[in-house]
Structure formats: C-alpha cells, structure tokens
Structure 1
Amino acid sequence: MLDIMATITETTIFYIMTLCFCKTCRFQTVISRIAPPVVYTMAVIVMTFFVDIGAYRIFVIFALMIVLILICYKVSIHSAFIVMELAYLLIAPLTESVGLSIMGVIYHGNVMTQVDGTAIIKWQIYVFIILLRLLFLIIAYRLLKNFKYDIQAKDAAIVSISFLLVFVVSFASTYGYLNLETSDTSLLDLITSVLGVVFIVQFLYSRNVSYLRDQEQRDKMQIAQLQQQFAYYQEKMKDEERVRSIYHDLKNHLLVMESRQNTEDTRQMAETLRSQIADYEDYVHTGNEFLDIILKDKAAKAREKQIDFSAMVDFHGIDFMEPLDISTIFGNAIDNAIEASEHLPEYQRLITVKAERVRDMLLITIENNTPPGNHLTEGTTKKDRFVHGFGIPNIKKAVEKYGGQCSFQLKERTYRLKILIPFP
C-alpha cells in the first residue's frame, strides 16, 4: 500500500511539473495531459513489482520522462530536461534525503527494520517521506504555476550541472541501499539535501534571469512603440503646418476663381476644393499644437468607423507635460475607445474626450460605450499578450510620472477613464 501511495505521489509530481512548464500540446489537450502520467505510472509499477534492476531504474525513469514530454508537448529539449530534473528532485533526492535525515535524528540513526529477513525502511519514515513529498509539491506548484519564461539553453546547462551533482550523490545512496544492501547512508543523504538546496537556488536564479530578460525585452518594445507613435505625430504636425500655412491663400484663390469664371464647372470645382479643405476649419484648438494634431488624427479615424467623436479640451497654460507623454495618454486612450466602439452598432458608437484645469489639477476624462459582457481590465483581450496590452500600463506610467492618478469605471455599459494630474 505504501508503494502504491508513493507511486501515486510520483505520478502527481511528474504531472504537475509538465503542467507548469509545458503549455503547448502536440495532440488534443486531454491526450497530451493524460498520456504521460498514465504511461509513467505503468512503468513505475512494472519496475517496482515485476522487474528487479535496483538503482538502475533511475536511468529508465529519466529517459521515459524526457521522451513522454517531447512526444506530447511542443517544448525544447533543454526544457524537457528541466522538467525531468525538477520532477526527479521532488520525487527522490530532496524528499528522501531530507526525510531520512530528519527521521534519522528522531530514531537515533535506527531507520531500518527487518521483515522476513529483509532490511527495509520503517513504515513511519516511509509515511513521513510521502507527506514531505506532498508538502514540497505544493510549495513547488505555488512557485511555478505561472511560469511563462523561456529558460535559455546556457542557463539550463548551468542548472543541469547542479543537478548532476545532486544525482551522483543520490544515486550512490540509492545504489548502496538497493544493490549493496547498505543500511547506513546518512552522510550521503545529508550531502544530497545540501546539494538539492543548491540546485533549487540555482534554478530560482535562472528563473529570475529569464524574467528580467523577458521584462527588458518588453520594455524595449514598449519604448519602441511609444517612439514610433511620437515620430508619427511629429511628422503629422509638420505636414499640418505646411497645409495650414497655405489654407487661407487657397481660400482666397477659390473666391477669385468663383467670381471670374461664373460657370457651372468652375463652381463645381471650387465646391470640391472647398470640401477637401473643410477638415482644417474643424480643428480642435486645445492650446497645444501637438495635442491638436493627435485629436484631429483620432477624429478622422473615428469618422472612418462611423463613430461620433466629441472633444472639449482646454490645454492653455498646460506646458509642463512632454509631447511624448501627451501622445501616450491621449493616443492610447482614444485608440482603446475606438477599438471598443467598433464592436457596437453604429447608433451606439460614441467617444467623448474632455480635459481642463480644475483649480490646481488637470482633469482628463475619456468615455466610450462598450459592448455587453466587457469587464474592467488593465491588460488586453487580444491573443498575443506579449505584443498587445501596453496601452493602459503606458498611460499609468505617463500619469504617475507627474504624480497623477488613473481610475477606470464601467457603469451601465459606459467605460470611463479619469485622470487627475496635479500642477507642479
């Protein structure tokens, strides 16, 4: 019964480790998730009750784990080794060496008993090791359940070197007990425990390195997106300045052309030209030329998508904000509102942008209707979460840079972003 319980805990550990590290299945999810633990359990039962190969079973288990992972999941070879190493560490070296070391102190080194002339570990110690195994599994799962970073091959190689040290000492202890019938392996168990802790520290260090590397890449991508957005508005601003500089002259030319050639074709041509420059009469004059360009660009995009866009913005005297931060706040917020509005019927598409100084605070409010079933989120609903989802975090960073605060409200299918920034 204790052997069966131990096999169940072994299989559970193997299953949990694959669950934490192997996210992409090769086959249907049920098949890829269930096949490895089932095959593993059958193999362990055969080697426990029907095949007597002693400590050499460890090599069979290693190979079996790696093959099952590579067959059922789309992972790299070094990732499969990481899963195998962590699973084996929890199954045998760490739990057994720590358990035997602790119980050896309690039983004054007398951890063995005789049953029908065979020396085996006392059942109390066996139970303690199984309970310790479950405890370590719970701790490992809580630490690794959200693991989503790719450990590079060179980091995996360093971790594998630490694992080899643990394995050599652990195998010597297991070989002495199973093959040589050595009863006292307390020194080897103590060394295995220490090396197991070293392995865990090494792995956690590699995990943190992977996290920092991933975060650095995300930061670079965010900065590149913001710089690209900023460059776009700068170029738009230059174009708008050139067009606005000739706007009034063009308007006068139209008046002259209409008065001199009073024909239907001339009037039609003048009307066409007048409609083409009409957008420049509808400018939102905020007091900040850069913000004017942003609002004009977003208003044009909203019109293309049949969205009612309204902007009441007074930025006169607000000169403490950098253009890049203005672009980050207004550009991302309005883009989010446009994206949400696209999923609504045309008569419900509405975006309102307001900004003004209220005493010593800059108050910015952006509202839009949202489809039913939407929930407040600061991430993204897109599948590619690595590329998308920067909008709101970037807005928060830009606002917090000036000591401001953001609040997000969803009430009666109206999404409201409210920003308060104190004047310096």
Structure 2
Amino acid sequence: MTPEVLPDIPRGFTAFAEWSACLVYILLLRKRFTPPVLGLALGLGLGLLWSVQIFAGKMPIALWTLGMAMAVAAMYAVVALCADVSTREVGYFTARAFVLAELVASFHWQLYSYAVDQGFTGLTVQIGLLVLVYGAAFTGAYLIERRHFPPDQRLEIDRRGLLSAVAIAGVTFLMSNVSFVSSNTPFSGRFPFEIFYIRTLVDLAGYVALYAHQGQRLELQRAVEVEAMNRMLRSQHEQYLQSKRNIDIVNRKYHDLKHFVTAIRTENDPEAKATYLDRLEESIRGYGAQVQTGNPVLDTILTAKTAQCAELGITLTCVVDGAALSFMDAMGLSALFGNALDNAIESTAPLPDPDNRLVRVAVYTQGALVMVRFENYHVGDLEFDDGIPRTTKRDALNHGYGLRNMRQVVEGHGGSLTIHDEADWFVVRALIPVPAERRSRALAQDVDALGPPAAGY
C-alpha cells in the first residue's frame, strides 16, 4: 500500500467539509439574513470554497501552505457574510470550523482508504461513506456544540480567546499534516494508514481542545456574570438601606424644624418673623415630602430616585400601587426598581432638551397579575440579544447586567419581563403573578369588609 494507490482527500470533498463546518457554527450564531437570503449566501459560500480548493490544487506543491491560507480566508469570508457577529468572533469560529472540517474530512477518507484496502471500490462506496460520515459527524457536532450557545448568554470573545483558538488550530493543522510534508521527523508516519491515523487522531485532539476551551471560557464568563449580578444586587440593597436612613434623618429634621418654627411664631415682631418663617418653611417643605405607595420599601426607593431626578432636571411620574407588590422582599424590589430607574436616569440625563427628560413608573393589578411598567424617553436605535439590549459601554463584559438582574427577579416570582423600543420610548414591562396565598388573603379581607349577609338571604 502506497500513497500513490491511496491519494489524498479530493479537493471537492475538502471544500464540502469546510462549508459544512462553517454551516454548523453559522446555524448556532445570530444570522445576518432572513432564511431565503441566507440560503443564497450559503450557496455562494460553497461555490467560493470549491473554487478556492480547485485553484489551490493546481498550484505548485511549494505553495501548498498558501493554498491552505486561501481556504481559511474563504471560510472566514463565509462566516463573516452569514453570521451577525464581531470580527473577533468570526476569527474564533473560523478557527474552530477549520479544525472540525479537517477532522471530518480526514476521518471519512481514512474509512474510505480502509474500504479500498478491503476491496470495496467505486464511486458508490466513496459517495455513500461521504453522506454517512459527513451527515453523522456534522449533525453530532451541531448537537454537542449547541450546549455552548445558551440563549440567555452571549460568549464574549476577547483578544486572548481569539489568539488561543488560532494557536490551537494552527498547531493541530501542522501536527496532523507533517507526515505529508516529510516522513523524516519524530512525529511523522511512514505508511499510508499510519499517516491517515495520525492525522485523524491529531485533528480529534485539536477539536476536543477547542471544545473544552470554549466550555471553560463559558463557565468563567458565567462566574463573572454571577459575581457581577450579585455585586449589583448587594449595591441596590445597600442603596435602598442608605436611602431609608437618609430619609429618616431628613424627616426627623423636618419635624424638629416644624416645632422650632412653631416656637418662634410665639415671639414678638410678627410681621418680620412671619415673613422669614414662611420662607424658611417653604424652603424645607420638599424635604418632608415622601412618595406614598403603600409599600415602605418602594416609598424609600421612589423617594430617593425622585430627589435624584429633580437634581438632574428629569421629570419622574409615579402611579404605583405598592401594596400590590407586598409579596416581594426588599432585595427583589431594590433590584427591580433600582436597576430600572438607574437605567432610565442614565439614559435621559444627557438629553439636551429638558422636555424630553421623562421617566414614568406604573404598578397596577390585572386580575391575578401585577403589571410593573417603566418608560423613559430614548433617542437612537438599540440592538437586542435574547430580548435584552446590548450594552453601549465599551467594557461589555462587565456591564449590561441590570436588565438581566431584573429578569432574574421577575422570573424568580414566576413572571415574565419584556423590553421594547416604541416610538422614542424605551419600555420595560414586568408581569408578575400574585402568589395564591396572597390572593386568598385578599379575598378573605374583601369578604370581611362586606360584613355579614343581610337578613332574608
């Protein structure tokens, strides 16, 4: 058995393997086009990869490395054309797709070479094995890769992650193909089946390494997100406690000043002192004002945010039935309302027109559900990931958790959170079911309020 008897993988098969590997990751990523247009783009991509492989096959053997570089560049172009991801993500998934394509193509050709050695030849065997191996391998790759693409989490690829993937792919390719370049190395095989086996085994190791690498990065990112969300929850709760302390202090000062004013009014010179005291009372009146919702936690949060909005020239309108959310604890309310209002204030404060600095909050019941609605005037377009706007801050890895925290709180109570951009208004709606025991208690209170039935009934 010699390499002449068993030639290397046909260029057309290699092109199809590369295209199929790109398709696996394109299906897992955000698509740039609608399905019909995407199908056309994928067809063009297959034609591009096939053309590049045929052209590279006609190049001198000395330019073999250049031919492979062209193939990788074509795979990069296909992923960039079809997937709506960043440049780094295109490079990262191109490296992964390249190793996957090399693995499947090598495995198929190894099986075919064995079949030829056993006397099974012909185009039917070759195509049959291709359909079977490629279909099973790429379908299996899609299924196992899918667990690394959770719908509620986006894998952020930084420079280190990209370089790691490219390095693993490069080393895998060099080690798996060294036997085709020279048989006089410590890592080369000298017999055809040995060469094919080494190539397949090294490609498998490279794919496993890349798969584990992404899994590790995903777990690390989850840990970072959980820690960031916990920090934000603690921060919101601490803000609530601090606001409560500040409001208590201000209210005590307010009542002390009222008594002080009353005492002074008993003094002589009523005209001058009355004028002075009226002004003094007017100046401190705002400090005694507090939002009253029927829920002490919401009273504290909304009072603090109202004062913050007043300082920034933002009009905050609240129509809130705080008693409807009495089943939620202080941590949950702080995370939900604190994050929502912080985002709204941060979005509206920079607006140049004071008439556009508008924030609205509403809480009301709808049957057995509580509707919580936050609205703020918004300028510009938003891009969404899994129903949540992408953060506009440069350090995306450490920002954008406020809305995720809100969703976590709402879903933790069996509700749902939806976010919309409606005609220059950014709208967040939370629909939360009232716990059954709360509904039963409220119904019992309503019955007691009606009193005993009238005589004759």
Bucket of the pairwise TM-score, normalised by the shorter protein: 0.5 to 0.7
Partner SS for 2:270: coil
Deviation per CA, 1:68-99: give whole Å up to 9, x if none. 98xx99659xx96x66754543454x233212
1:144-163 counterparts in 2 under 5 A?
A: 148-150=155-157
Cα distance in 2 for partners of 1:95, 1:399 equals: 44
Cα distance in 1 for partners of 2:329, 2:299 equals: 14
Code of the aligned partner of 1:279? G
Code of the aligned partner of 2:304? D
Picking from 406, 426, 430, the partner of 1:417 is: 430
Cα distance in 2 for partners of 1:369, 1:51 equals: 65
- Kept in 2: contact 1:104–1:110 (CA 8 A): no
Q: Calculate percent identity across the aligned residue pairs.
A: 16
Code of the aligned partner of 1:380? P
Picking from 310, 313, 327, the partner of 2:322 is: 313
Partner SS for 2:371: strand
Q: Please name the residue that 2:409 is paired with.
A: 398
CA, structure 1 residues 365+128, in 2 after alignment: closer, same or farther (shift >3 Å)? same
Q: Please name the residue that 1:117 is paired with.
A: none
Matched, 1:97 2:110: no
Q: Please name the residue that 1:225 is paired with.
A: 232
Code of the aligned partner of 2:373? E
- Kept in 2: contact 1:408–1:416 (CA 8 A): yes
Matched, 1:295 2:308: no
Deviation per CA, 1:136-194: give whole Å up to 9, x if none. 66776784896734378599769956974674344325767xxxxx9972343234333
Picking from 369, 376, 380, the partner of 2:389 is: 380
Q: Please name the residue that 2:57 is paired with.
A: 48
- Kept in 2: contact 1:407–1:419 (CA 8 A): yes
Q: Please name the residue that 1:251 is paired with.
A: 258
Q: Please name the residue that 1:365 is paired with.
A: 371
Code of the aligned partner of 2:305? K
Code of the aligned partner of 1:252? H
- Kept in 2: contact 1:341–1:369 (CA 8 A): no
CA, structure 1 residues 288+368, in 2 after alignment: closer, same or farther (shift >3 Å)? closer
Give the superposition deviation at 1:383.
2.7
Cα distance in 1 for partners of 2:93, 2:362 equals: 51
Partner SS for 2:240: helix
Picking from 209, 212, 218, the partner of 1:205 is: 212
CA, structure 1 residues 7+199, in 2 after alignment: closer, same or farther (shift >3 Å)? closer
Matched, 1:196 2:203: yes
- Kept in 1: contact 2:15–2:49 (CA 8 A): no
| Unpaired runs of at least 5, structure 1 | 24-35, 113-121, 177-181
Code of the aligned partner of 1:262? P
Picking from 241, 254, 268, the partner of 2:248 is: 241
Cα distance in 1 for partners of 2:275, 2:136 equals: 83
Cα distance in 1 for partners of 2:428, 2:169 equals: 52
Picking from 326, 332, 353, the partner of 2:363 is: 353
Cα distance in 2 for partners of 1:126, 1:203 equals: 29
Cα distance in 2 for partners of 1:329, 1:16 equals: 40
- Kept in 2: contact 1:364–1:418 (CA 8 A): yes
Code of the aligned partner of 1:225? M
- Kept in 1: contact 2:415–2:432 (CA 8 A): yes
Picking from 257, 270, 273, the partner of 1:262 is: 270
Picking from 269, 276, 281, the partner of 1:274 is: 281
Cα distance in 2 for partners of 1:110, 1:174 equals: 28
Cα distance in 2 for partners of 1:155, 1:340 equals: 33
Cα distance in 1 for partners of 2:340, 2:161 equals: 41
Cα distance in 2 for partners of 1:65, 1:321 equals: 57
1:3-14 counterparts in 2 under 5 A?
A: 5=12, 9=16, 12=19
Cα distance in 2 for partners of 1:409, 1:397 equals: 12
- Kept in 2: contact 1:379–1:390 (CA 8 A): no
Give the superposition deviation at 1:335.
4.6
CA RMSD of aligned residues (A): 5.5
Partner SS for 1:284: coil
Deviation per CA, 1:301-342: give whole Å up to 9, x if none. 4554224322332389x5x85432231133234456667888
